Amino acid sequence: MKIAVLKDSAAHEKRVAATPETVRKFIALGASVAVETRAGADANIADQAFIDAGASVGDRAATLADAKLILSVQGPDAAGLPAGAVVVASLNPFQSGERLAAYAGGQITALAMEFMPRITRAQSMDILSSQANLAGYKSVIDAAERYGRAFPMMMTAAGTISAARVFVMGVGVAGLQAIATAKRLGAVVSATDVRLATKEQIMSLGGKPVFVEDEETKAAETSGGYAREMSDAYKAKQAALVSETIAKQDIVITTALIPGRPAPRLVTAAQVATMKPGSVIVDLAVEQGGNVEGSVAGETVVTEGGVTIIGHINYPSRLATDASALFARNLLTLVTTFWDKEAKMLVLPDDDEIVKAIRVTHGGAIVHPGLQA
């Protein structure tokens, strides 16, 4: 079975879906691997490293010829993909209807990695977690770089510098890593979420929880571990709490997402205006519509009041080498989980919980129940 690893062409994408380490493991399973020229270049993986691992390296046509499994970070265009192949990538399925239709038309079986269920068996295939963790870390590093002051408290002969105050909004995988990173740098950290379960997690990392607590928060978490859209009454209470908290912060990191919906708006421009000049906000939800009023995808904005709002696109790609290594291992685990050792090929059983959750196109149609019109 031939596995193709493509060079991603999306703007701001530096990651690659396989590494020499995973290529070696695919070959040990009995697969052959073809890698597109310069597929790993932006993640600091040279073509020669893939060749040394046993892959062939060539142009796109040669890479795709007879490939049965195609690995990519954001998914390739349907044109030129061999009929019957399986594409595994982060496909952004809710926003990619046209491309999914083209995959279906080309008889491609597409597996959308972001639909991986949050069950123990699938944890090591969870690209959202592996990538969000790095994004949370890098958001704090970016904020620290932009902030014109130090994070830790310093007592020096010339006087004392006070610690930076960091507020993390949304305490999922990215938020937890943001808290941990800010603490390591010596900041005073507080954090908020709608899911009450995060309160203990914040405290265990040395942060201070800032929470609206009412009847609604008890049911804010879905069975899948995600947040629900909250009521207007809850949002009003949350806005009051944010107003009270935000004026005292130097750095705000927002990470709040609700699957399949626009990101919740958590910070208004009026609230941003209460922050001191020099304060920095990083909006990790900017591509899903943004948690912060005034954040712009792909831009760093400075408000009239001197507050910087960072809205980088594709945060994981800013740590392309580590992000690729983890993404590639997530895909390797998926492939090994569904590898038939005797036939030396990928077999995707129709009744498997993971297959049902991530398979978006198959047999010439869009098959995922969440994507039916």
Q: Of 111 and 128, which CB lies nearer to ligand NAD in the complex structure?
A: 128
**Pattern of binders to ligand NAD over 99-118, x per CB under 6 A?**
-------------------x
Catalytic residue among 32, 107, 129, 243: 129
| Of positions 39, 266, 280, 286, contacts ligand NAD by CB under 6 A | 266
| Of positions 4, 132, 246, 334, contacts ligand NAD by CB under 6 A | 132
Site for ligand NAD in 172-191 (CB under 6 A): 172-175
Residue 234 designated active-site? no
Instruction: Please give the angle made by the CA atoms of 81, 82 and 83, to the nearest 5 degrees.
Output: 110
| Of positions 92, 123, 336, 337, contacts ligand NAD by CB under 6 A | 123
Burial class (CB in 10 A: 0-12, 13-18, 19+), 98: exposed
Which DSSP helix (H) or strand (E) runs through 5? Answer: strand 2-5
Site for ligand NAD in 40-69 (CB under 6 A): none
Q: By CB under 6 A, is residue 195 in contact with ligand NAD?
A: yes
Q: What is the rounded CA–CA span in Å between residue 361 and residue 258?
A: 24
Q: Tell me how far, at minimum, the Cβ of 240 lies from ligand NAD, in Å.
A: 13
Nearest Cα neighbor of 359 from 349, 17, 26 is: 349
Catalytic residue among 90, 96, 126, 139: 126
Q: By CB under 6 A, is residue 333 in contact with ligand NAD?
A: no
Q: By CB under 6 A, is residue 283 in contact with ligand NAD?
A: no
Q: Which pairing describes strands 300-302 and 280-283: parallel, antiparallel, or unpaired?
A: unpaired
Residues 6+ apart with CB under 8 A from 323: 15, 43, 130, 131, 134, 316, 317
Residue 226 designated active-site? yes
Residue 129 designated active-site? yes
Q: Tell me how far, at minimum, the Cβ of 199 lies from ligand NAD, in Å.
A: 11
Q: Tell me how far, at minimum, the Cβ of 82 lies from ligand NAD, in Å.
A: 33
Residue pair 103/77 in contact by the 8 Å Cβ criterion: no
Site for ligand NAD in 220-239 (CB under 6 A): 225-227, 230
| Of positions 91, 168, 180, 194, contacts ligand NAD by CB under 6 A | 194
Q: By CB under 6 A, is residue 169 in contact with ligand NAD?
A: yes
Q: By CB under 6 A, is residue 199 in contact with ligand NAD?
A: no
Q: Tell me how far, at minimum, the Cβ of 197 lies from ligand NAD, in Å.
A: 6
Residue pair 126/118 in contact by the 8 Å Cβ criterion: yes
Residue 324 designated active-site? no
**CA dihedral of 111, 128, 368, 344, whole degrees rounded to 10:** 30
Question: DSSP per residue over 67-97, as a string?
Answer: -SEEE-SS---STTPPTT-EEEE---GGG-H
Which residue is listed with tokens 């491609």?
Answer: 108
Residue 126 designated active-site? yes
Q: By CB under 6 A, is residue 257 in contact with ligand NAD?
A: yes
Burial class (CB in 10 A: 0-12, 13-18, 19+), 177: buried
By Cβ distance, which residue is nearest to ligand NAD?
172
Which DSSP helix (H) or strand (E) runs through 365? Answer: strand 365-366
Q: Tell me how far, at minimum, the Cβ of 168 lies from ligand NAD, in Å.
A: 10
Catalytic residue among 32, 107, 123, 124: 123
Number of residues binding to ligand NAD, judged by CB under 6 A = 29
Which residue is listed with tokens 């305490």?
Answer: 171
Q: Tell me the residue type at 250.
A: D
* Residues contributing to the site for ligand NAD (CB under 6 A): 118, 123, 126, 128-129, 132, 169-175, 192-195, 198, 225-227, 230, 255-259, 264, 266
**What residues are labeled active site?**
118, 123, 126, 129, 226
